[in-house]
């Protein structure tokens, strides 16, 4: 006698699942083979393509290249108000050296405050063509000719050009200043300068060489030890002229330094400010700004707002 087991729903369900699994196993190789041929996994093949990315451009900025009279090409970055009327007399201007590295910090600080008096101004970054933060040409533009015999700290740099700071200062105060005045309504009596490291050294040179060229100067972490402390000789000449009453009105000066600066000596900046503050009786106005937690490279970003206030606040 043959007993037949009744076919229940569960039996049918198990049979269907087995057939479905067999079908999947049979078709999987073909699906994976097709995906492999197309270079993507089956799930990824159906995923939408990512949205294309574009470089970020900071609002209210412009950039162009221009050549100095001696043929050197510079990249000029500008942040300027794009709405509203300029203040009476025109916008004050701050020139920021090493523009490739530092323009962004200063432009952003101005842009987010453009509804305040300190933001109603123009930032001009002066840099070099290319995407590097620093260009070796800065050594030529910001420093004096290397002294002979070479001091130990400069021997490795003797292969690079130096001593072009005078024509660079001519460019800043001449051709570039005129170009900015043609493009924007500016106040030619309120032109300021910021420089850091070698740029800070150049800022001191600008003060000593042309004391009336800028209304305000910020020398951040100036590399005064460079080239056998050559800048100290120029400081002595400058101080003697001030004390002799030969200069009249001079730029206001802010010396900026980070107390954790391992690439320079913060005390040298403090002592510089102290020496120059002694000339206040002859009209020289000097301020020292110290940042206890900043190192050499972090000083410019920290100093951006203090620099804007120092340069753009009407006194």
Q: 211-259 pLDDT, tens per residue?
A: 999 999 999 999 999 998 999 999 999 999 999 999 988 999 999 999 9
Domains of the chain, by residue range, sit at 9-45, 61-312
Identify the bridge partners of residue 290 per DSSP, sorted by sequence position: 257
Distance between CA 127 and CA 285 in Å, rounded? 29
Q: State the CATH class of domain 61-312.
A: alpha beta
pTM score of the predicted model: 0.84
The candidate with the shortest Cα–Cα distance to 180, out of 265, 261, 93, 270, is 93
Which alpha helices (H) appear in the chain, and where do they start and end?
9-38, 42-45, 99-111, 137-142, 165-171, 177-183, 198-209, 226-243, 266-277, 299-312
Do 198 and 138 contact (CB within 8 A), yes or no? yes
Give me the chain's average pLDDT, please.
87
Average pLDDT over residues 279-292: 95
Q: 140-161 pLDDT, tens per residue?
A: 999 999 988 887 878 888 888 9
Q: 71-81 pLDDT, tens per residue?
A: 999 999 999 99
37, pLDDT greater than 80? no
Can you read off the two tokens belonging to residue 165? 């700071």
Can you read off the two tokens belonging to residue 64? 């162009």
Distance between CA 176 and CA 77 in Å, rounded? 12
């Amino acid at each position: 006698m043959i007993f037949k087991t009744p076919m229940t729903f569960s039996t049918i369900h198990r049979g269907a699942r087995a057939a479905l699994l067999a079908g999947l196993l049979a078709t999987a190789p073909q699906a994976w083979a097709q995906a492999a041929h197309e270079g993507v996994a089956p799930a990824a093949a159906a995923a939408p393509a990512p949205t294309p990315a574009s470089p970020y451009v900071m609002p209210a900025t412009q950039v162009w290249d221009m050549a100095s009279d001696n043929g050197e090409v510079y990249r000029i970055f500008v942040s300027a108000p794009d709405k509203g009327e300029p203040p009476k007399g025109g916008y004050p201007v701050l020139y920021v050296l090493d523009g490739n590295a530092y323009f962004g910090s200063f432009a952003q600080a101005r842009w987010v405050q453009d509804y305040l008096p300190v933001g109603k101004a123009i930032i001009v970054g002066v840099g070099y063509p290319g995407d590097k933060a620093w260009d070796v040409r800065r050594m030529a533009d910001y420093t004096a000719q290397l002294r002979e015999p070479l001091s130990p700290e400069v021997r490795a740099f003797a292969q690079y050009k130096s001593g072009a700071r005078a024509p660079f200062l001519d460019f800043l105060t001449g051709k570039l200043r005129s170009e900015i005045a043609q493009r924007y309504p500016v106040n030619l009596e309120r032109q300021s300068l910021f420089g850091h490291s070698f740029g800070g050294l150049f800022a001191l040179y600008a003060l000593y060489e042309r004391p009336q060229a800028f209304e305000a100067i910020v020398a951040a972490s100036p590399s005064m030890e460079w080239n056998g402390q050559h800048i100290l000789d120029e400081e002595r000449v400058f101080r003697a002229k001030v004390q002799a009453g030969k200069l009249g009105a001079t730029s206001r000066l802010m010396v900026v330094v980070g107390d954790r600066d391992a690439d320079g000596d913060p005390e040298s900046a403090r002592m510089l400010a102290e020496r120059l503050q002694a000339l206040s009786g002859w009209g020289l106005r000097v301020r020292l700004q110290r940042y206890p937690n900043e190192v050499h490279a972090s000083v410019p970003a920290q100093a951006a707002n203090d620099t804007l206030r120092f340069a753009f606040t009407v006194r």
